[in-house]
Amino acid sequence: MKPKKEQKTEKPKAAPEPDEQFEKPRGIIRENLEALLIALLLALFIRAFLVAPFKIPSGSMEDTLLIGDQIFVSKFSYGVRLPFSNKVLIPTGEPDHGDIIVFIFPLNRKLDYVKRVIGLPGDEVQVHQGIVYINKKRYEKQWGILKGPENPGMPQFRDFGPITVPENCLFAMGDNRDNSSDSRYWGFVPYENLRGRAFMIYYSKDKSIFDVRWNRIAKILH
């Protein structure tokens, strides 16, 4: 008698573990929440210490900044500051003539203003017939414009000073000279009030005609 052939039998494959097939819903929710939390913390860190957005509400900086422009402000240009107190933790730089700055309004700390640095500590600033002089030398460059006052009751201050900027303070003016509430009206900007330096327009919209100003998007500010 011929011996019977041994029949080969395959071992049954082990069933895959549940987590090899499908991720548990609870794990997916947890991962999404963790990613959202990390993104939120990163956004808060960037806004608090690096770059923050601001919107232009008035025409005091025309034609450099228009109503409806939305700008990015470098918060580390003049020092890394603590949120809320605005106290400098790490000094990183000093303001210079011509910088466009965002700062806490000295007469109301709930408001932020945007102006251009005209005078530094120790500078003698004078405005004569709308022309700016620093230390008795004309300093107008390409920024200042004289449109005439939009509000007839608003004093123009085309003649102002001379006045010397004190230590740790700045003399700031709007580019729209006849329509800007600035250091000619309410005094100097203390260094401790600085928020940062405006460096770019990231979005702009003309509310009067509800139209996006495409030519201003990503425009670098000088």
CA–CA dist 200, 170 (Å, integer): 22
CA dihedral 80, 125, 138, 146 (to 10 degrees): 90
Catalytic residue list: 60, 115
Closest CA to 147 of 158, 136, 159: 158
What confidence tens digit (pLDDT) does each residue in 69-93 have?
Answer: 999 998 888 877 777 677 777 777 8
Outline where 93-186 has alpha helix (H).
183-186
Is a pLDDT exceeding 90 seen at residue 193?
Answer: yes
Q: How high is the pLDDT of residue 39?
A: 76
What's the pLDDT score for residue 29? 80
CA atoms within 13 A on the CB side of 190: 10
Tell me: the pLDDT tens digits for 31-51? 777 677 777 777 666 666 678
d(CA 152, CA 160): 19
Q: Which two tokens stand for residue 197?
A: 């330096």
What number does CATH give the domain 50-220? 2.10.109.10
pTM: 0.77
Note the pLDDT tens digit of each residue in 129-138: 888 999 999 9
**Residue 5: partners with Cβ closer than 8 Å, 6 or more residues away:** none
Give the angle 178-200-184 at the CA atoms, nearest 5°: 25
Q: Is 210 left (phi over 0), alpha (psi -120 to 50) or beta?
A: left
Number of residues that make up the chain: 222
The predicted pLDDT at position 167 comes to: 95
| DSSP category for residue 58 | S
**Residue-range domain boundaries for the chain:** 50-220
CA dist., res. 86 & res. 192, Å (int): 7
Structure letter (DSSP) for residue 6: P
Q: 162: cis peptide before it, omega within 30°?
A: yes
